[in-house]
Amino acid sequence: MLNPRRAFARCLAVGLLYLVLLCCTCEARKPAAAEIKAGSRSAGNAAASPAELSLLSGRFVPEKKSGFAAIPAKFTAGKTQYLDKRTLAALAKLAAAAHAAGFDIRVVSATRNFTTQKAIWEQKFNGQRSVGGKNLAATVKDEEKRALEILRFSSMPGTSRHHWGTDMDLHEAKITGPALHNSTFKHGRGKEFHDWLRANGPSFGFCQPYGGDPAVRNEGKFAHGYQEERWHWSYRPVSADYLRDYESNAAALMPKGYAGDKAAAHLYMDYVRNIDPSCR
């Protein structure tokens, strides 16, 4: 018969061995931190692939891009527009709720690629399109100052949230004021529509990135930022991830290849980052 003391010691040894084995198994099942980071783009820290950098900087053709789809004609104001498919699905739900509340959403502008944004920028920079009623090429000779005037409402190509397929400029079928004017959304039906979007957009994932005064939007954290844009809305569940990716890959995304880039490009990150905190 076994000595009781020896039997207790043997039990203790077997128990300890079991515990050691159990812990080793737990450790082996835990993924390494590096694996988590590599497997999750939403972590926002990993270096983006060339395909992701192309998307973030708008260097693609929306009609041929996988993951993008045309917005149904009933939601557009004429020209065919494209969106990220997840954003488009959310827009359809937002538009149905708006319709039930008496508003018929129209998308004035959705995905714009680098080429389209470059055309808009250069028309303004070179004076073919007026900015605030002025020909900037004739009236503002200093190129950085001219860029700052354009940057009140327009992005440098390669830096626009419209590249991502998550952002769009909205109007409403029965609003008579001009699209892309804050004044349109400050009185009458325009204000009612904007108030409805502010109250209901967030429950469908939508936020207004450019609200209020850019100098106070983030408590003075950024020296520059776009002016208020009551018409510009973003699908946050996708765009917040893209913003983090943009910030993590900022050096690779410094914009170039357009008129005035040498004088203006260094300003880009303030404009990308100075968005309403509700869109992060």
Binding site for Zn ion (CB under 5 A): 169, 232
CB 163 within 8 A of CB 117: yes
Beta carbon nearer to Zn ion, 169 or 245: 169
Contacts of 163 (CB under 8 A, 6+ apart): 55, 56, 57, 58, 111, 112, 113, 114, 117
Q: Which amino acid is at 35?
A: E
State which residue, 79 or 262, has the beta carbon closest to Zn ion.
79
**At closest approach, how far in Å is the CB of 202 from Zn ion?**
18
CB of 229 to Zn ion, least distance (A): 6
Q: Which is nearer to Zn ion, 163 or 232 (CB)?
A: 232
Q: Closest residue (Cβ) to Zn ion?
A: 232
Structure tokens of 169?
A: 């400029």
At closest approach, how far in Å is the CB of 147 from Zn ion?
Answer: 18
What's the closest the beta carbon of residue 30 comes to Zn ion, in angstroms? 44
Structure tokens at 189: 């039906």
For 212, the token pair is 């209020």
Residues 258 and 156: beta-carbon distance below 8 Å: yes
Least distance between Zn ion and beta carbon 264 (Å): 19
Contacts of the segment 94-100: beta carbons below 8 A, 24+ positions apart = 94/200, 94/201, 94/204, 94/206, 97/200, 97/204, 98/172, 98/196, 98/197, 98/200
**Minimum CB distance to Zn ion smaller for 146 or for 162:** 162
